[in-house]
Structure 1
C-alpha cells in the first residue's frame, strides 16, 4: 500500500543521530544521505526518509498522526524506545507495554522525535 514515508526536520544532523539509533535497534543500517541532504533508511523492504521541507518553511508535526515501526518482539520495542530517549526523543503516552482491544493484543512503545513527530514501535502479539 505504501511506497515510503517521509518526515520533515529542522535539524538533519539531530535527526540522523536519533533515527540511526532507532534503526540500529531494529537491525537497520545508518542513513544514506543523498545529494539533496535527505536521510534515507532502507530496511525490510521499507523506505523511510527525513528531509528539510522543500518549500523552505519550518518543519512541523502532524497532530493526530503516528508513524509505526515493526518490532520483532517486546524486547526490541523496549530497546527502540530506550535508544530514542537516549538520542533526544521524548517518551509519550503510557510506558511501553501491552495494549488490548478489538480482539488484538499489541506491544506498543511511543516517542516524539526531536522535531515533535509521533512515532511508535509495535509488536503484534499472538
Structure 2
C-alpha cells in the first residue's frame, strides 16, 4: 500500500544499529547508507524504509499518534523483533507483546519506540 516510509533521526549510527537488528528479524538485509545525503535505506520486495537527518536542518521529531507497522510472519517473529529492538536502544511501549482481539479478527502486536522516539509495531494477523 505504500512505496516507502521515512523517519527522521539525530543519530544515523544508532538508527542503523537499531533498524538492522529489528528489521533483520523480519528477513530484511542491513540498511544501505547514503553518506552524501545522510540517509539509510532498508529494502524488501514489499517496500522501502528509510531514516534521514532532516533536510531542513531542524531537529528530528516523531508523530504524536503515528505508528509505523511492520509485518511479522508469526507471533514468535514479532517477539524476536521486539527483543532485538529493546536490546538495541529501543523502548517497549503500549501493552506488552501479545494477542489483541479486534472483534472480527485477532492480531498479535508488539510495540516499540526507536532511539528517536518513533512508534513502531510488529503485527501478525492470527485470523
Q: Give the TM-score normalised by structure 2.
A: 0.96
Partner of 1:77: 78
Partner of 2:115: 114
1:63 CA drift (Å): 0.2
Partner of 1:12: 12
Number of paired residues? 126
Runs of 4+ in 1 over 3 A off after TM superposition: none
Partner of 1:103: 104
1:49-88 aligned within 5 A: 49-88=50-89
The 2-side partners of 1:79 and 1:23 are apart by 10
The 1-side partners of 2:102 and 2:75 are apart by 18
Partner of 1:31: 31
Q: SS in structure 1 opposite 2:38?
A: coil
The 2-side partners of 1:119 and 1:91 are apart by 10
Superposition RMSD on alpha carbons, in Å? 0.8
Q: SS in structure 2 opposite 1:121?
A: strand
Q: Which runs of 5+ in 2 are unaligned?
A: none
1:44 CA drift (Å): 2.8
Q: Give the TM-score normalised by structure 1.
A: 0.97
1:103 CA drift (Å): 0.9
